[in-house]
Amino acid sequence: MSHVAMIAAARRWLPVALALALAACSGKDETPAPAAQGAAAPAAAAPAAPAVAAKVQSMGTEQLRESASQALRENRMYAPAGDNAIEYYLALRDKTPDDASVKSALTDLLPYTLIAAEQHLGREDFTEAQRLVALIEKVDASAPALPRLKEGLTKGVQVAAKRTEDETEKVKKDAEDRTKQLAEQQRLAEQRAKEAEAAKQIAAQQDVARRDSERQEAERQAAARRDAEQKQQQAAAQQANAARQAATAAAPSLRPVSTPAPRYPAEALRSGTSGEVLVEITVGTDGSVTNARVLRATPSRVFDREALNAVKRWRFEPVTAPVTTRRTLVFAPGG
């Protein structure tokens, strides 16, 4: 098929292809646009590449025609970059500026490129939109839509850059707020730890003080009890002494009538054992001993019986009231 026939055929199916392209904005001839946040601002990047790829410009005329025809058949009207119909025709136009069929093909391809540029701007794919705008400008620098596309590209890049800046600032501020919050939480945790440690120390000090106070109180009470017991003992001793003195003063003196000596136990006498016995006797009003008991004996149980038998036989002059007194009986061999 000749090149002219190819162009004529393209003109017949281009309106249909245009409708399909409008309905399917993400067809096989386009690369999906990146997310808005990841869109790079083309104006801030390196200088834009030429509208027509260098490898396309280096092709010969026949190769360009064949590549353009193949791209049209495969619906690669403006993408991908470096392998699409519009770039091949632009290179052909540079090489054959008087070829009317090439100019006609570019005129037919221009609406598709305009629509694609609008779509990529809407998706904020500014890199691809800039490439398409460059193609449009190279096809027709006086295209009516070109100023609007360039303005949209500039504003879109500015808006995206401002949004990125705002989001970056927000992330930074959130990070700073989070850092401040963590620092405040750490400060509060350290403060609570210090307060807990201080409370623990105060509790320990109070516990020590309480134990000291309890110990001192226990010592004071024990000392008070000892003092009270000592005073009671002293009072009892004083009372007993006073009673004895009173009894001694009140008791009438005893005048012995008969106080026979005790019999010396035979065994103690044979062994030469000596000793003494302290006895307590009660003398009745008639002068006889009514009661007697051993208080102390040395040696024990040797002279006790004979001492008691002796004092029970003692007689005193009658008294007005019974008298209790103590006598010591001494046992000595040859005494």
pLDDT of residue 4: 42
Confidence band (pLDDT; 50, 70, 90) for 239? Answer: confident
Mean pLDDT, residues 202-226: 87
For residues 316-320, give the mean pLDDT: 96
Mean pLDDT, the chain, whole residue set: 84
pLDDT at 18 over 70: no
Contact 97, 39 (CB under 8 A): no
Q: Which of 36-45, 195-204, 224-233 has the lowest mean pLDDT?
A: 36-45
The model's pLDDT over 96-113, given as tens digits with 9 standing for 90+, comes to: 999 999 999 999 999 999
Asked whether residue 10 carries a pLDDT value surpassing 70, the answer given is no
pLDDT at 14 over 70: no
Whether the CB-CB separation of 52 and 87 falls below 8 Å is answered with yes
- Please give the average per-residue pLDDT across 320-334, as a whole number: 94
pLDDT at residue 131 is higher than 90? yes
Q: Which two tokens stand for residue 330?
A: 């001494």
119 falls in which pLDDT band (50, 70, 90)? very high
Residue 44 pLDDT class (50, 70, 90 cuts): very low
Q: Of 3.30.70.3270, 1.10.287.610, 3.50.50.60, 3.30.2420.10, which CATH number belongs to 256-331?
A: 3.30.2420.10
Domain ranges, ordered by start, for the chain? 3-166, 256-331
Q: Could you tell me whether strands 275-283 and 256-258 are parallel, antiparallel, or unpaired per DSSP bridges?
A: unpaired
Q: What HEC string does the chain produce? A: CCHHHHHHHHHHHHHHHHHHHHHCCCCCCCCCCCCHHHCCCHHHCCCCCCCCCHHHHCCCHHHHHHHHHHHHHCCCCCCCCCCCHHHHHHHHHHHCCCCHHHHHHHHHHHHHHHHHHHHHHHCCCHHHHHHHHHHHHHHCCCCCHHHHHHHHHHHHHHHHHHHHHHHHHHHHHHHHHHHHHHHHHHHHHHHHHHHHHHHHHHHHHHHHHHHHHHHHHHHHHHHHHHHHHHHHHHHHHHHHHHHHHHHHHHCCCCCEEECCCCCCCHHHHHHCCCEEEEEEEEECCCCEEEEEEEEEEECCCCCHHHHHHHHCCCEECCCCCCEEEEEEEEECCCC
Give the C-alpha distances (Å, rounded to integers) separating 176 from 37, 166, 190, 306. 22, 15, 21, 115
Cα-Cα-Cα-Cα dihedral sign, residues 320, 321, 326, 327: positive
| Beta bridge mates, 296 | 278
Q: What is the pLDDT of residue 89?
A: 97
pLDDT band at residue 248, thresholds of 50, 70 and 90? low
